Amino acid sequence: MDIPWWRDAIVYEIYVRSFSDASGDGVGDLPGIRKRLPYLRDLGVDAIWLTPFYTSPMADGGYDVADYRDVDPLFGTLGDFESLVSDAHELGLRVVVDIVPNHSSDRHPWFREALRGERRERYLFREGGELPPNNWQSTFSGPAWTRVEDGQWYLHLFAPGQPDFNWRDPEVHAEFLDVLRFWLDRGVDGFRIDVAMGLYKAEGLPDVEDQSFTSVSPVWGQPEVHEVYRQWRKVLDSYPGERMAVGEVWTDKAEDLAQYVRPDELHQSFNFAWLQAPWSPTAFKKVIDETMATVPFATWVLSNHDVVRHRTRYDTEDPGTGLKRAKAALLTMLALPGSAYLYQGEELGLPEVKNLPPEARQDPVFFQSEGKLPGRDGCRVPIPWTAGGASFGFSPGDVKPWLPQPEAFGELSAEAQTGQTTSTLEFYRQALTTRRDLVRSLPYTLEWLDSPEGALFFTRGPLTCVLNCGLEPVRLPPYESVLLSSGPLDGGLLPPDTAAWLNRP
């Protein structure tokens, strides 16, 4: 049986504004990405995922879309996108693009019509008097409702510039089916669906006690959403070349996650339980067991554009261990059945940038919380390509990037790490190359081995993966040879905060 490309793929997330700037305005763009495609091929990934590049006023970094069928001039042109797809395919890279169906920009023509009192049924407008219609809160802080001039209120689960669509209106359904076809016709290989569990809200929009992302409530996870993805799956299946969709689904139960990846719905859904797990063999094993038992096609992810980079998360748990743990977690993740999603810059070992000044911050989370929440800018700082220069090679010449980079980025740049056998970049290249040689010969299952305290050992066919989360070295299980390790091994011992791949005897 042929294995679909996405089942075991390594997908590299590109936060477009922060990857590579070719135009010289300090903001990443599509031509900049196109220039760096050979780097991604040589890194060993199978596909790239592009965050939104559509026409947008950038109230939320492009996740506020004003035109779903065009490229914002900040990022290039539609021709630039088509050239990017063509070049990627020539290099053997698939292209996945973000789609944002929960909400649009308040500059979208439909919402402008709604503000004039026309066709408001395409959004969620309600009467509310002097108070909002219910107690729902924006995930960015503050009320989820904004009042317009005629006294009605509109719902925005994110920024006020991101009004939520009313998915009970047939025109919304038809619009997004057409948007899917527009980009599929231009060669995209798949879609990452933003807020995939959020399209429908419960009838009557009742007050809630728990509005957290992971809770199925009147706000999230309504059952009607599954029919949307059944329709989308039919569209995807009508195109050649195994087009796919992966959902951003936040949930606290693997059983709920599995509902989105039934055979006639999405192909994959992000497994945020792995990202949220603490540095613990017990926690890791629990996530792996629950995922493998319930989700048909697993995904694994450690960082993305919305969370603190995992090097820094692990370092916060135990200062000084972050990079070692990040590399060990990566090696463990790559040994698991399923696909893995990487976030740009993690292959360089980039940490979260915590000390951004208030005047530099741009995330609406920071502003809506009146500075109480730092927001997500710290993981979105443009990545360094060269050891020197005004932007470490992110932009040409003396151009400064849209978010300031710390001086330490120079020694973490791709240029500084290339060819250095002990660097994080070369470790990633070796790990991805080794995995590619292995993955198609491995069963889509794993077996646990008896593990010493603080450690996690499992096998997949001829491969044994060992991880030591403890404070003391542990003895390795029997093996013929070491394929790869995240750090030096001490004879027959596995040091703390280290992982290794072994050939079984």
Let me know: does 193 contact 231? Beta carbons within 8 Å. no
Measured between alpha carbons, how far is 121 from 213 in angstroms, rounded to an integer? Answer: 25
Which residue in 327, 313, 329 sits closest to 281, CA to CA? 329
Q: Stretch 293-300: mean pLDDT, rounded?
A: 95
Measured in Å, how far apart are the chain's first and last C-alpha atoms?
A: 29
pLDDT of 162: 98
Single-letter code of the amino acid located at 410 = G
List, for residues 260-273, the tens digit of each pLDDT value.
999 999 999 999 99
**DSSP collapsed to 3 states, 22-61:** CCCCCCCCHHHHHHHHHHHHHHCCCEEEECCCEECCCCCC
List, for residues 243-291, the tens digit of each pLDDT value.
999 999 998 889 999 999 999 999 999 999 999 999 999 999 999 999 9
What is the DSSP secondary-structure string of 113-169? HHHTTS-GGGB-EE--TTS-SS--B-TTSSBSEEE-TTS-EEE-SS-TTSPBB-TTS
List, for residues 202-219, the tens digit of each pLDDT value.
999 999 988 877 667 899
Q: Stretch 185-209: mean pLDDT, rounded?
A: 96
Which residue in 12, 13, 20 sits closest to 43, CA to CA? 12
Residue 89 β-bridge partners: none
List, for residues 405-442, the tens digit of each pLDDT value.
999 999 999 999 999 999 999 999 999 999 999 987 89
b (16+ CB within 10 A) / e for 207-230:
ebeebebbbbbbbbbbeebeebbe
pLDDT of 1: 56
List, for residues 39-59, the tens digit of each pLDDT value.
999 999 999 999 999 999 999
Tokens for 70?
A: 């065009």
pLDDT of 55: 98
pLDDT of 215: 67
Tokens for 4?
A: 């679909």
157 — pLDDT class (breaks 50, 70, 90): very high
Residues whose CB is less than 8 angstroms from the CB of residue 497 and which lie 6 or more positions away in sequence, other chains included = 321, 324, 325, 328, 468, 469, 487
Q: Stretch 326-353: mean pLDDT, rounded?
A: 98
pLDDT of 426: 98
Neighbours of 180 (CB within 10 A): 22
Percent of the chain with pLDDT over 90: 95
337 — pLDDT class (breaks 50, 70, 90): very high
pLDDT of 490: 86
Of the residues 46, 194, 265, 363, which is catalytic? 194
Of the residues 46, 248, 346, 363, which is catalytic? 248
Which residue in 245, 205, 204 sits closest to 226, CA to CA? 245
Tokens for 330?
A: 């990566």
Pairing of strands 455-460, 447-448: antiparallel
Cα distances (angstroms) measured from residue 356 to each of 94, 323, 363, 373, 502: 34, 21, 12, 13, 42
Tokens 């039934």 found at: 262
Report CA 150 to chain centroid distance, whole Å: 39
Measured between alpha carbons, how far is 52 from 97 in angstroms, rounded to an integer? Answer: 7
Burial class (CB in 10 A: 0-12, 13-18, 19+), 401: buried
Let me know: does 74 contact 27? Beta carbons within 8 Å. yes
3-class state of residue 300 by DSSP: strand
**Dihedral angle, C-alpha 466, 470, 472, 478, nearest 10 °:** -20
Active site residue 248: yes
Neighbours of 101 (CB within 10 A): 25
141 — pLDDT class (breaks 50, 70, 90): very high
Q: Stretch 171-200: mean pLDDT, rounded?
A: 98
Q: Stretch 19-29: mean pLDDT, rounded?
A: 98
Residue 11 β-bridge partners: 47, 341
Single-letter code of the amino acid located at 106 = D
Measured between alpha carbons, how far is 226 from 69 in angstroms, rounded to an integer? Answer: 24
Active site residue 264: no
pLDDT of 466: 98
Measured between alpha carbons, how far is 57 from 72 in angstroms, rounded to an integer? Answer: 9
